Amino acid sequence: MTLTLPGLRAFVAVARTGSFSAAARMLQVRQPTVSESVRRLEAAAGQPLLLRTREQVRPTDFGRRILAHAMAAVDAADELEGLLGGVPRPFTVGFLGEAAAGRTRDLLRAVESRVAGDVRLRRYDVDEPSCGLLTGQSDLAIVWPPLDAPGLEMVTIATDRRCVALPASDPLARRAEVTPEELGGRVWVLPRTADAAYSGFRHPAAVGVADVAGTVLSGSLEETLELVAAGRGCALASTSTDEHYARSHVVIVPLAGDVRCTVALAWRAADRRPAVRGAAGEAVRLFGAG
């Protein structure tokens, strides 16, 4: 088997964009060149790596496993080319909402001490809970586990108390804390995401609410809080939500029993670049298990 960097770039670009034509534009080559590169990679693998539908192109289950390694190879090559050319590639740290809270500064310092190029922060919403890691848009990410992403490694950097975001008019909004039994019979705002683990953890059933009157989907934290403020439902949140996204007509009430969620620094397991591994190791040293 002969692997080529252009072939891996083509596969990664199609997986990232969901389109052969978009991948060709990204790589500045003709679409038949991209198609042939992917065909050769699939022939070498002995099975399809991409599932092609009329709406989009996405990796197969086996393709997702290969993609993690292909991204690592492409990222390493891009980084090496940047260093040799004197223009290091930007290093992106993705984050979800308020996930990192006050630890963002320390994490960025750990990354900047190991990266030659520009370090950038990029915010993601609940429809992409891996914060760009699975699409290769981020090098490291600050996430809210659990995630349905077996190709990622994580280290816990903090914990946060779980709460419920309630309309200010809700009788429970005046309480110091609430129990799951008291939250029955309500409509809940849930994240609009394909990640089953992330979605399930943010469903009220995950904290013991048995009686759910209905659900409303949201694509972002801001949208969630607006829906709560408008009286369309309530939503699971955290103490950090109140600290960073205080919203009029929304009250964040802790769940009884000190129920907690975790914040983690995540990276692709196949990514062996020194900057990624070094920053992850520094996060372990700084924060341990949170």
Residues 191, 253, single domain; the answer is yes
In a shared domain, residues 242 and 271:
no
Q: Sign of dihedral through CA atoms 169, 171, 174, 179?
A: negative
How far is the CA of 45 from the CAs of 31, 62, 107, 275, in angstroms? 21, 10, 38, 30
The reply to whether 117 and 235 lie within a common domain is no
The residue with greater pLDDT, 139 or 178, is 178
pLDDT band at 159 (very low <50, low <70, confident <90, very high): confident
Q: Residue 288 has what pLDDT?
A: 66
pTM, whole model, 2 decimals? 0.77
Residue 113 has pLDDT above 90, yes or no: no
Per-residue pLDDT, 84:
79
Q: What is the mean pLDDT of residues 278-284?
A: 82
When pLDDT is cut at 50, 70 and 90, the band that residue 98 belongs to is low
The C-alpha angle with vertex 130 and arms to 128 and 131, in degrees rounded to 5, equals 70
Range with the lowest mean pLDDT among 50-64, 83-97, 129-143? 83-97
Q: Please report, rounded to a whole number, the percentage of residues in the chain having pLDDT higher than 90.
A: 40
Query: Taking a C-beta distance cutoff of 8 angstroms, is the pair 243, 97 a contact?
Result: no
| Distance between CA atoms of residues 246 and 214, nearest Å | 25
- Confidence band of 145 (pLDDT split at 50, 70, 90): very high
**Which band of pLDDT confidence, cut at 50, 70 and 90, is reported for residue 1?**
low
The overall average pLDDT reported for the chain is 87
Is 137 found in the same domain as 22?
no
Q: Are residue 100 and residue 239 in the same domain, yes or no?
A: no
Q: What is the reported pLDDT for 100?
A: 58
Are 38 and 78 members of one domain?
yes
Which residue range is the domain that position 42 belongs to?
A: 5-85
Residue 59 CA from chain centroid, whole number: 17
Question: Domain holding 227: CATH number?
Answer: 3.40.190.10
User: What percent of the chain is predicted at pLDDT more than 70?
Assistant: 97
